[in-house]
Amino acid sequence: MHGTKSGKSRAALGRIERLRSLAMGAMALGLVLAVGGMAAAQPAPTARYRVTFESDWTAANHPIDYPTGIAHFSPLLVVTHDSDVEFWAPGQLASPGIENMAENGASSPFDSEVAAAVLAGDADPLLVDPRGGIGGDDDTSVVITASQAHPLLTAVAMLAPSPDWFVGVHGEALFTAGDWLPGAEFSLFTYDAGTDDGATFTADDIESVPHVPISLETSGSLGNGIPIGRFLVTRLAAPECDINVTQTSYGVGETIALDRFQIQNPGGEAGAAEFKFWIAVGDTEIGVFNMGHDNSFVIDALDVLDLGAQALATVEAGFPSGTWQVGCRLLNPTTGELYDADIVSFEVDGEN
């Protein structure tokens, strides 16, 4: 009995290795990368964006009481989240975190408010611009990763010096109408947090009693209708993979094949990716090929690589019966971050 089991195991391993050889041979013959038209692929589960804060707080644009030589912004605070949480909005009272950000440029306790939302599953961790604050006519940028679970963008920074004035966006959707935005631009105007009654940039602290709702500045230098800056949100290259098989089941003599195999880069910049393709037989994953781990596989911005129909392997008698899968993964070749994956299941009958 032991000899019989060992023989069966060796035979199964042999068939799996035979399948791998057949698939690799077929892919090597048929895998020709060609630029095609945009494909109707499923949107990626996540998207990377560069958020650039371009400030334009100058004496020329906002001359009244301009704090010459000391005008600046506090470090940019950015968070992605879902619609179950709202960190600030005009017409609402400022939270303690927004109050301290607007009055002192601090990230705490706003970081605790975000941490609570993360714990509840409603947000990603807070991103604090590592560069720190910027001058009144300077710019800075950070890179974020949004997900379909947390597709909304909120970002804030304090004008300094000021009593409680800040700029920001709240709950801006990056994923809408079933797809990721390629980019967006938000003009920035000044908000009053409603927590300090000071009327000038360098006024003494005068606590508002009671606090009043957050409101847009509509008078004085900051209310003259000229934006004090802008947020530029640009989607970065994050390739997506889309595959499909020709049938839902295959028997002996039938060829397992793909009728769709496309990789696309919907981002505004070219990007490198590690590209993996495999076949799974039960719990055994058979690697067919892996390329780009050395940053050599690069897809231009807005390009689609249409690999066309691909024959993988012809089912032979003795191939394991049951549910099989084919799949592709695209990863960041430097960090290993998953960009996208597409997995398709089908049935194989190796007995008939």
Q: Do 322 and 335 fall into the same domain?
A: yes
Specify if 6 maps to a domain: no
CATH code of the domain in which 313 resides = 2.60.40.3880
Buried-exposed string 260-277: b where 16+ CB fall within 10 A, e elsewhere: bbbbbbbbbeebbbbbbb
Give the global pTM.
0.65
* CA–CA gap between residue 82 and residue 84 (Å, rounded): 6
Q: Do 40 and 53 fall into the same domain?
A: no
CATH code of the domain in which 127 resides = 2.60.40.2130
Pairing of strands 322-331, 134-135: unpaired
Pairing of strands 298-299, 304-306: unpaired
* CA–CA gap between residue 232 and residue 235 (Å, rounded): 10
Residue pointed to by tokens 């910027």: 134
Q: Do 221 and 79 fall into the same domain?
A: yes
pLDDT at 350: 83
Q: How far is CA 77 from the centre of its chain?
A: 17
Q: Greater confidence, 336 or 212?
A: 212
- How far from 43 is each of 32, 138, 147, 259, 352, CA to CA, in Å? 24, 35, 11, 19, 38
> Which of these three, 189, 219, 235, is where a domain ends?
235
Structure tokens at 272: 């490198």
Specify if 244 maps to a domain: yes
Cβ contact 156:166 at 8 Å: yes
Per-residue pLDDT reduced to its tens digit, 104-150: 999 999 999 999 999 999 999 999 998 889 998 899 999 898 999 99
Q: Do 249 and 163 fall into the same domain?
A: no
Q: Do 21 and 56 fall into the same domain?
A: no
> Which of these three, 208, 235, 262, is where a domain ends?
235
**Residue 276, H or E segment:** strand 274-281
- pLDDT mean over 252-278: 85
Helix (H, G, I), strand (E, B), or coil: what is residue 272?
strand
Specify if 3 maps to a domain: no
Omega prior to 210 cis, within 30 of 0: yes
pLDDT at 21: 59
Q: Do 194 and 119 fall into the same domain?
A: yes
Per-residue pLDDT reduced to its tens digit, 45-90: 788 899 999 999 999 999 999 999 999 999 999 999 999 999 999 9
Specify if 5 maps to a domain: no
Domain extent at residue 308: 13-44+238-349
List alpha helices for the chain, DSSP H.
2-30, 96-104, 110-119
pLDDT at 9: 43
pLDDT at 97: 98
In single-letter form, the type of residue at position 230 comes to R
Specify if 8 maps to a domain: no
Specify if 221 maps to a domain: yes
* CA–CA gap between residue 157 and residue 141 (Å, rounded): 13
Say how many domains are in the chain: 2
> Which of these three, 207, 235, 263, is where a domain ends?
235
Position 267 pLDDT exceeds 70: no
Pairing of strands 46-55, 229-235: antiparallel
Specify if 300 maps to a domain: yes
Give the N- to C-terminal CA distance of the chain in Å, as an integer.
27
Position 230 pLDDT exceeds 80: yes
